[in-house]
Amino acid sequence: MAVDLHLHSRFSDGSDSPTAIVDAAADLGLTGIALTDHDILDGVPEAAAAAKRRGILFVGGTELSVSWRDQSMHMLVYFLEPGSGPLQDRLGALQESRHNRNIEITSRLAGLGVEITFAEVQQEAGSGVVGRPHFAAVLMAKGHVASVAEAFDRYLAAGRPAYVPRMRLTAEEAIRLARETDAVAVIAHPHTLQLRSEEFAGGFRELVDIGLGGIEAHYSEYTPEMRNRIAAICADLGIVATGGSDYHGTYKPSLAVGTGTGDLRVPDEALHRLEEIR
Ligand code: AMP
Ligand code: ZN
Ligand code: FE
Ligand code: FE
């Protein structure tokens, strides 16, 4: 039996409602899912209700962009409910910083002769947090670029002219806040980090010492060999090998709920072990 612990809904930069994601997961026969919208928990109640109706396990969570050794790292945090709490109380500041960044991206684009309004981007995003994929969608719809990839390559990616950084927690802060919130922090898609393979386990040990609960091993962009290798490193470190599709609906059309690019299968032991170590 399988689960999917990395999913984005329209409350951040996915296109589907939480209910539609739960339905897709249940239809596929998954036994549990986690919703991990960027910096926001507003989709959690809807997803929890839908999961209860469909009889699958559900965990509320979020995906944070954090800094680690001068690098950008993505951190998934599981077992979060909306409301107040040590971690929840920081999400408001992260959202505000996002908002200011989005205004700045809009004016940088204008300075580059690319006329899109922030209202158009907000309209694209709906009621959730606005992210760069929404800018990419508007740039495409208005004919400024031919693809999402071109939008990032020309304008939005780090180092490109409309890139604007935003406030980040450090990896250590995120892990500590997660622990204080009775939640579990997990490193997402570690292949995006610059890390020599011999450093891989040792580099994470200091994070494990302060409470890191897992690393995402089951991820579409990894070969089966890499998934096994990361799972073995997790076993060595005494933490959980997690995984998920990173589904974003139409914003990343190559990824499906549960199966990612096709061959993903996250064992449901991943979810059970997260519950155990919580
Ligand atoms: P933001 O949270 O606004 O910084 O945007 C992050 C989102 O942009 C995540 O869903 C990323 O997967 C996506 N993203 C980042 N870089 C790229 C890229 N080069 N091409 C496509 N999507 C990207
Ligand atoms: Zn995203
Ligand atoms: Fe990510
Ligand atoms: Fe993600």
Task: Please name which of 166, 169, 8 lies closest in space to residue 102, comparing C-alpha atoms.
Answer: 166
- Separation of CA 44 and ligand 3 centre (Å): 18
What atom of ligand 1 comes closest to residue 131's alpha carbon? 3
The predicted structure's pLDDT at residue 202: 76
| CB-based neighbours (< 5 A) of ligand 3, an ion | 74, 188
The predicted structure's pLDDT at residue 63: 98
For the chain, the residue count is: 278
162 alpha-carbon distance from chain centroid: 22
Beta strands in 139-261 (DSSP E): 169-170, 184-187, 214-218, 240-243
The predicted structure's pLDDT at residue 70: 87
The predicted structure's pLDDT at residue 147: 95
Q: Cα-Cα-Cα-Cα dihedral of 34, 40, 46, 47, to 10°?
A: -10
CB 129 within 8 Å of CB 119: no
The predicted structure's pLDDT at residue 82: 97
The predicted structure's pLDDT at residue 262: 97
- Separation of CA 189 and ligand 3 centre (Å): 7
Rg, C-alpha atoms of the chain: 18
Task: Please name which of 211, 209, 224 lies closest in space to residue 261, comparing C-alpha atoms.
Answer: 224
Q: What are the phi and psi torsion angles at 257 (to 5°)?
A: -55, 130
Task: Please name which of 228, 216, 219, 222 lies closest in space to residue 260, comparing C-alpha atoms.
Answer: 219
Which of 152, 216, 220, 245 gets mutated to test ligand 1 (max ligand atoms within 8 A of its CB)?
A: 152
The predicted structure's pLDDT at residue 203: 80
Ligand 1 close to Cβ of residue 13 (< 6 A): yes
- Separation of CA 74 and ligand 3 centre (Å): 5
What atom of ligand 1 comes closest to residue 151's alpha carbon? 20
Q: Please report the sign of the dihedral spanned by the C-alpha atoms of residue 113, residue 152, residue 137, residue 88.
A: negative
d(CA 6, CA 160): 27
Ligand 1 close to Cβ of residue 152 (< 6 A): yes
| CB-based neighbours (< 5 A) of ligand 2, an ion | 8, 13
pLDDT in tens, the chain (278 residues): 899 999 999 999 999 999 999 999 999 999 999 999 999 999 999 999 999 999 999 999 999 999 999 899 999 999 999 999 999 999 999 999 999 999 999 999 999 999 999 999 999 999 899 999 999 999 999 999 999 999 999 999 999 999 999 999 999 999 999 999 999 999 999 988 887 766 777 789 999 999 999 999 999 999 999 999 999 999 999 999 999 999 999 999 999 999 999 999 999 999 999 999 99
- Separation of CA 77 and ligand 3 centre (Å): 12
Task: Please name which of 263, 210, 271, 256 lies closest in space to residue 28, comparing C-alpha atoms.
Answer: 256
d(CA 217, CA 226): 8
The SS3 assignment for 255 reads: coil
d(CA 218, CA 28): 18
